[in-house]
Chain A
Amino acid sequence: DAGITQSPRYKITETGRQVTLMCHQTWSHSYMFWYRQDLGHGLRLIYYSAAADITDKGEVPDGYVVSRSKTENFPLTLESATRSQTSVYFCASTYQGTEAFFGQGTRLTVV
């Protein structure tokens, strides 16, 4: 199916564990983004990527790692999860900075 998909949709993990959130898009959009959404903070940019093998930090990158070896995939890894990383995570892509297309979101709970 065409579009952008995130997995898993829901995840509960323990403090200190590594967890990876997956994002896959089928349009070959150059730009991809990871956000976290918390009440009162809107969507905050964690990392972004302008193309395969090109990634850069956003507003809140600490504790997160990304990679983009293929254009269509942009996984986000929490190296050692903390309770403050409990959030809803959105992946998005865009073609040259036009409309952004979002995944369904991943609700992550760190206990």
Chain B
Amino acid sequence: AQKITQTQPGMFVQEKEAVTLDCTYDTSDQSYGLFWYKQPSSGEMIFLIYQGSYDEQNATEGRYSLNFQKARKSANLVISASQLGDSAMYFCAMFRTYKYIFGTGTRLKVLA
């Protein structure tokens, strides 16, 4: 069965520093997509970044990068130069065979 695991319920980071949010996944499929979403306190879900299972290079989108280690089945999100507005809930997700599943999330707090 496919599964997403986020082992960090909460994280703190100092403003302007980098932070890594962990995500591991479990699937026996060769073709899948990995995603990160941000959910601020207002509740909406915001797409951040995507990595395809066949992509050899790590995805980057501005201050977000996805550290994809296929053999270890990990897809960690790196946020560089953290800002106060980055304080939110972050979800790792996977799409495979019609299903789009999410982890339990990591709550990130950026400290001034």
Contact = CB atoms under 8 A, between A and B. Distances in A.
Interface residues of A, number: 25
Q: Say which size band chain B's interface belongs to.
A: 20 to 34
Contacts of B45: 90, 92, 100, 102
Interface in B38-75: 43-45, 47, 50
Contacts of A35: 102
A50 interface: yes
Contact of B99 (A42, A48, A105): A48
Contact of B33 (A40, A43, A58, A98): A98
B98 A100 contact: no
A31 B98 contact: yes
Contact of A33 (B9, B96, B100): B100
A56 B98 contact: yes
Interface of B: 6, 9, 33, 35, 37, 43-45, 47, 50, 91, 93, 95-96, 98-105
Interface of A: 31, 33, 35, 40-45, 48, 50, 56, 58-59, 88, 90, 92, 94, 97-100, 102, 104-105
